Structure 1
Amino acid sequence: MRLHRKHGLAATMLATTVFVAAQLGGIGSATAADPCDYPAQQVDLENWKVTLPTGSGNSPTEIKQPDLEDFSVAPWFQVNSKCTGIQFRAAVNGVTTSGSGYPRSELREMTDGGTERAAWSSTSGTHTMTFRTAVNHLPEDKPHVVVGQIHDGDDDVTVFRVEGDNLYITKGNDTHHKLVTSNYQMHQVFEGKFVVSDGEIEVYYNGVLQTTIDHAKSGNYFKAGAYTQANCGNSSPCSSSNYGQATLYKLQVKHS
């Protein structure tokens, strides 16, 4: 496993990047966005950290700012081969956090330039995450991957979850709360959006409101990437060749 860090011109270019370097010409297409060395050159990751399916025990690798600015590790977290977005991969035999039995290559929302964990209230202000993504690969036997979510201090609140050909929006422990489509195809790009205010979460798919979920709680934060919902206990082979993968093309968070 190789880690890549590079300073100089790439870092200077990154410092001038205000938002998303991956420009999409519509929900189903993407065009190359140079430079292609690090994920943070594709999407502004100033207020994020990444958790990877590597490490040991229940201590997965975490990369925070400022190291995240020029960090890449193949194949778990890297610019995709077309230089259009960030590839997230989590194999079923990956290292998991102490609170989960499933591996992830996933961003977690931070604040203050990536130095503090984000934790906001759903009853105060308006909190929005818009992301554009595509699932590229599903694990065997249990072909389930989460690509975007809201989490509170205890558990996930609502997520976008692909199960084979089905794309669901969940609500707490109800993993099939809202069926968005029963004909999801690998590599199909879609846009998800969460809008949280006044104790409610509005969830959108390609700009269309799908469901509204009651949620009045503090300690919330956004997550995005590939959270594989399979492990060596329910998916075979138990190897790095069996994985979930998604590509993230756009990520925007706004608090007001």
Structure 2
Amino acid sequence: MQFLSNFFRACYLSLVLVSAGNCQDSNDLAVAANHQDGPYANSDTPETESVDIKKYKLPKIDLSHWKLTLPVGKPTEVEPPEILEYATNEVVRPYFYNDSTDGSLVFYAFPNSTTANTKYSRSELREQMVPGDNNVNWTFEQGGRMKGTLAVDEITKDSDGKYHRTIIMQIHGRLTNEQKELIGAKDNNAPPILKIYWDKGYVRVKTKVLKNKSASDQEILHEEAWGDDEGYTFPDYVGFKKFKLEVKVSKGKLVVIMNNTEYAVYDDVNIKRWGIFENYFKAGNYFQSKDEGSYAKVKFYDLEVIH
């Protein structure tokens, strides 16, 4: 009798443990089902495929100080706090979404809607020091740093069989309201002092230079006072692999660092005179093509701004 009692007790405990395990599995599946990916991610559901929740990864990016511009609408812009719900926003998801297989945030862009003063479309983040406000920015004297880990995942080729280009990071200038009124500008737009391109598998840096080094402080507020430098291309080929970029700004100096080993340093008169402008960081996929059927996907695994 004691043997049978122990036997039935063991059977009962086994059933309890199995039920508990099934409940835990159900909870894991519910979490996985609620995880939102973009339309290009695996569409299998927990009902048709076994899900290991540990395989899901998320990008290490705080979006609370970023505004998003999309390649659709007039164009469509999404500010904090709305941007924090990007994973469930049906307008945003085709162009800005998680790839949970590798923990990246995907920026998808193609030729379509453009912003004022531009001719190309973008899926790109714009820094907002005060969430929802474009009027609070920073100067080179105040300084700042942006760093990220990213990769170009897909990009089309032109009619000559060469890959299209895209801008992956920027520092954009901005006129204060007082400067805007002083020169009679129609808006607060100023040139971008820094553009970093993915260019046929290489990282290429472009900055602005004064056409007339003797121009007055008022004269250099005009966009036409600035031209493009010859550019600098980092020698290491990144292709479609993951790489790191860091941009460091201080009074009279701009430094771009790739993979913690390669440096491009700018500390000449052009950078020093640029100190008159306010600035903000940008990151994402500013796609440099208007070819029909062209597109690019850029992945960011982490992105951080420090002031």
Alignment TM class, shorter chain as reference: 0.7 to 0.9
Would you tell me which structure has more helix in proportion to its own residues? 2
The 5 A counterparts of 1:155-234 are: 155-172=191-208, 174=228, 177-181=231-235, 183-186=237-240, 188-214=241-267, 215=271, 216-231=275-290
2:126 corresponds, among 108, 123, 140, to 108
Give the AA of the match of 1:80. D
Counterpart-to-counterpart distance in 2, 1:219 and 1:245: 30
1:243 corresponds, among 280, 289, 295, to 295
Dislocated runs of 4+, deviation >3 Å: 31-34, 173-176
Q: Which blocks of at least 5 consecutive residues in structure 2 are unaligned?
A: 1-30, 32-53, 175-189, 209-226
Counterpart-to-counterpart distance in 1, 2:235 and 2:154: 17
SS in 2 for 1:71: helix
Aligned to 1:138: 155
Does the aligned pair in 1 maintain the 2:234–2:262 contact within 8 Å?
Answer: no
User: Highest CA radius of gyration, 1 or 2?
Assistant: 2
Give the AA of the match of 1:177. G
Counterpart-to-counterpart distance in 1, 2:207 and 2:138: 19
Counterpart-to-counterpart distance in 1, 2:121 and 2:237: 25
**What TM-score do you get using the length of structure 2 for normalisation?**
0.62
1:185/1:176 CA distance change after superposition, 3 Å: farther
Does the aligned pair in 2 maintain the 1:152–1:217 contact within 8 Å?
Answer: no
Check if 1:253 corresponds to 2:272.
no
Does the aligned pair in 2 maintain the 1:130–1:253 contact within 8 Å?
Answer: yes
| Aligned-CA RMSD value | 2.3
SS in 2 for 1:106: strand
| Residues 7-27 of structure 1 deviation map (CA, whole Å, 9 limit, x = unaligned) | xx9xxxxxxxxxxxxxxxxxx
Q: Which blocks of at least 5 consecutive residues in structure 1 are unaligned?
A: 1-8, 10-30
1:244 is displaced (CA, Å) by: 1.5
Give the AA of the match of 1:229. Q
Does the aligned pair in 1 maintain the 2:86–2:93 contact within 8 Å?
Answer: no
Counterpart-to-counterpart distance in 2, 1:150 and 1:176: 17
1:181/1:209 CA distance change after superposition, 3 Å: closer
Does the aligned pair in 1 maintain the 2:201–2:237 contact within 8 Å?
Answer: yes
Give the AA of the match of 2:103. T
Counterpart-to-counterpart distance in 2, 1:175 and 1:162: 17
Counterpart-to-counterpart distance in 2, 1:87 and 1:62: 17
1:180/1:86 CA distance change after superposition, 3 Å: same
Does the aligned pair in 1 maintain the 2:63–2:83 contact within 8 Å?
Answer: yes
1:80 is displaced (CA, Å) by: 1.6
Counterpart-to-counterpart distance in 1, 2:67 and 2:122: 13
Counterpart-to-counterpart distance in 2, 1:212 and 1:101: 29
SS in 1 for 2:84: helix
Identity of matched residues, %: 27
**What TM-score do you get using the length of structure 1 for normalisation?**
0.74
SS in 2 for 1:170: strand
Counterpart-to-counterpart distance in 2, 1:99 and 1:77: 23
